[in-house]
Amino acid sequence: MRVVVIGGGIVGLASAYELADRGADVVVCERGTVGSGSTERSVGGIRAQFSSPVNVDLSLESIDVWETFDERFGVDVQYRRTGYLFLARSAETAAAFDDRVAMQTDRGVPSEVLSPEAAHERSPAVDPETVVAATYSPTDGFADPHLALQGYARAATDAGVDVRTKTPVTDVLTERDWRSSEQGGERSGAGSGERSSESSTRVAGVETPDGRLEAEFVVNAAGPWAGRIAAMADVDLPITPKRRQVAVARPETPISEDDPLIVDLEGGTYVRPERDGDALVGGHVGSSDPECDSDGYRTSMDFEWAADALEAVASWTTAFGPESAIKRGWAGLYAVTPDDTAIVEESVPGFVTAAGFSGHGFQHAPATGKLVAELVVDGELSLVDADALSSDRFADERERGERNVV
């Protein structure tokens, strides 16, 4: 079975590895270099404290891999489990904590609701006067995305995957496209803007600058570019690229590297302890995250944004004040869906989507690779609720699911 995976980030490489492990002949097409999209701009968070059951399940399935990554792939990804601490600064936000923690614990996550004083004990950086309640799980943490990417890239290559960098996909082809080519006729492909309904019988390969690649399945793991790739297969996916920024800061009062990653659910900002007392600061600041052109976005951090971010976290921590300093930073793209949860499905025959993770792609990559292999080899999902990851769910009006802070 021949499979083309579009996207050489961690979701694409995890999918390629799992497919090859199940006997598929896999080619990865990456338009840049491996990991040059969103993966290496991730902060590497790995958590099971989600508000939707399917995201908890994806986390638990992935954590099984993260815990044994060195043993499986021979790479130490520096997986640090210092916990996540979610803060509620209003009674309305805190009211949802009991049900959320009950759902998580039912699935095996050791999360708990904390008082403001207990949250301060977990992290002295938290100002208990600004907090109504908090949730905490000691098994949440983070790892190094670059090292994890290296592990999957090596494992995929060792399993026989053909990873082609500098190889953009310019069209997704159908069985009709191949027949038309063999008969010498002209096809009405993406370039003409008039692809007929007949041409979408079944996806059968891709077009690249180096020629066509025939395949029984094409996997769309293109992250923020997934909507564009889907359109080549006449699939409309509600995936929007949004620019997110991260600052490396020196707090006024150093934060221990053993402290948990802290998220303010009210303001949408977070602080992730680093070594030597530094911290990563990010999240929503000011207006909502801007939609942007996934090709032309700025990868450098805006210092005005960083100053606002430090001011925002200073409103709920005691660590940041006038003597805090911004050292450097960067910007990357989230691939966001309306409910901040991924789409993993066979969107049309032969075309598998694994995208729209809304900032959770790195941590859910191990589970996603297995799901993609299930869809291609078995024809259905067994590890998680398939309906919860289907794009059909957007046909109904529903409330936003997750808060995609980190």
What confidence tens digit (pLDDT) does each residue in 266-323 have? 999 999 999 899 999 999 886 545 666 667 678 899 999 999 999 999 999 999 999 9
132 is a domain residue: yes
> What residue type is assigned to position 29 of the chain?
C
- Is residue 127 domain-shared with residue 188, that is, in the same domain? no
Tell me the CATH number at 100. 3.30.9.10
Q: What is the pLDDT of residues 249-266, one digit of tens each?
A: 999 999 999 999 999 999
- Which of 336, 361, 377 is where one domain is finished? 336
How confident is the model over 21-64, as pLDDT tens digits? 999 999 999 999 998 888 888 999 999 999 999 999 999 999 99
Residue 55 domain-assigned?
no
Q: Which domain holds residue 190?
A: 2-47+146-237+339-395
The answer to whether residues 352 and 310 belong to one domain is no
Element (H, E) at 370: helix 361-373
Q: Is residue 373 part of a domain?
A: yes
Q: What is the DSSP string of 82-135?
A: --EEEEE-SHHHHTTHHHHHHHHHHTT---EEE-HHHHHHH-TTB-GGG-SEEE
Q: Are residues 190 and 217 in the same domain?
A: yes
Instruction: Mark whether 331 and 343 lie in a shared domain.
Output: no
41, 237, 247, 287, 375 from 329: Cα distances, Å: 10, 31, 4, 20, 38
Structural domains in the chain (count): 2
Tell me, yes or no, whether 355 lies in a domain. Answer: yes
d(CA 309, CA 316): 12
Any idea which residue has 């002295």 for tokens? 124
Q: In this structure, are residues 143 and 66 in contact, taking their beta carbons and an 8 Å threshold?
A: yes
Of the chain, the percentage scoring pLDDT greater than 90 comes to 84
Give yes or no: residues 245 and 388 share one domain.
Answer: no
Q: How far apart are the C-alpha atoms of 170 and 344, rounded to whole Å?
A: 22
Higher pLDDT, 20 or 403: 20
DSSP 263-296: EETTTTEEEEE-GGG-EEEEE--SSPPPB--TTT
Q: Do 155 and 231 lie in a common domain?
A: yes
pLDDT tens-digit profile of 298-310?
Answer: 889 999 999 999 9
Residues 298 and 328 reside in one and the same domain: yes
Distances (CA, A) of 213 to 6, 125, 156, 389: 12, 54, 19, 28
pLDDT in tens, 336-379: 999 999 999 999 999 999 999 999 999 999 999 999 999 999 99
Residue 212 falls within a domain, yes or no? Answer: yes
> CA 21, CA 370: separation in Å to the nearest integer?
10
Is the same domain home to 288 and 353?
A: no
Residue 64 in any domain: the answer is no
Chain centre distance of CA 295: 18
Mean pLDDT of 2-17: 98
11 and 22 in a single domain? The answer is: yes
Q: Which residue, of 285, 301, 336, is where some domain finishes?
A: 336
Q: Are residues 40 and 151 in the same domain?
A: yes
What distances in angstroms separate CA 221 from CA 31, 47, 82, 366, one per listed residue?
12, 21, 30, 13
| Helix axis angle, 361-373 to 145-158, nearest 10° | 20
Q: For residue 309, is it within any domain?
A: yes
H/E segment holding residue 3: strand 2-6
**Closest to 142 in 3D by CA, of 382, 401, 406:** 406
Among 313, 336, 359, the domain boundary falls at: 336
State in Å, rounded, how far the first CA of the chain is from the last one: 37
Residue 125 · residue 271 · CB < 8 Å: yes
Kindly state the tokens that stand for 227: 């909507």
Query: Taking the complete model, does pTM exceed 0.85, yes or no?
Result: yes
Q: Is the pLDDT of residue 398 over 90?
A: no
Average pLDDT on 107-116 reads 98
Q: How confident is the model at residue 123 (pLDDT cuts 50, 70, 90)?
A: very high
150 and 43 share one domain: yes
In a domain, 73, yes or no: no
CATH code for the domain in which residue 213 is found? 3.50.50.60
How far is 343 from 377, CA to CA, in rounded Å? 18
Sheet harboring 343-348: ordered strands across? 162-164, 25-29, 2-6, 217-220, 351-355, 343-348
Same domain, 151 and 18: yes
